[in-house]
Amino acid sequence: MIEFLDFYADWCGPCKVMEPVLEEAESQFSGKVTFKKIDVDTDNDTSIKYGVMSIPTYIILKDGQEIDRFIGAQPKDEFFSKIQSHLS
């Protein structure tokens, strides 16, 4: 199973912009990808564990190992393509 980590903060503008894209991704990839939101302000330990320095940061894990990472707001098609590329 693929796990998708979304590092965000409530005050982050680009994070807010990406919210509808993430909601659509959760729906589209339901059963194939587990999505987890991590608030960097309240879960600092996880942010440090993954070396998150800016937000939004998206990390894709497979079998607990990081296989991809991208930072910042993304066009929806590119965002979905990155996730899809790890499902085949």
Which range marks the domain in which residue 39 is found? Answer: 10-65
| Residue 4 forms part of a structural domain | no
- Percent of the chain having pLDDT more than 70? 100
Helix, strand or coil, per DSSP, at residue 14: helix
| Residue 29 forms part of a structural domain | yes
**DSSP-H helix ranges across the chain:** 13-28, 44-49, 76-84
> In this structure, what CATH number is given to the domain that contains residue 41?
3.40.30.10
Band (pLDDT 50/70/90 cuts) for residue 88 is confident
| Residue 39 forms part of a structural domain | yes
Name the domain count of the chain.
1
Angle at 17 between CA 59 and CA 1, to 5 degrees: 30
Band (pLDDT 50/70/90 cuts) for residue 47 is very high
| Residue 72 forms part of a structural domain | no
Would you say the pTM of this structure is higher than 0.75? yes
For the annotated catalytic residues, the residue numbers are: 12, 15
Position with higher pLDDT, 88 vs 69? 69
Strand order in the sheet with 65-71: 33-39, 2-8, 57-62, 65-71
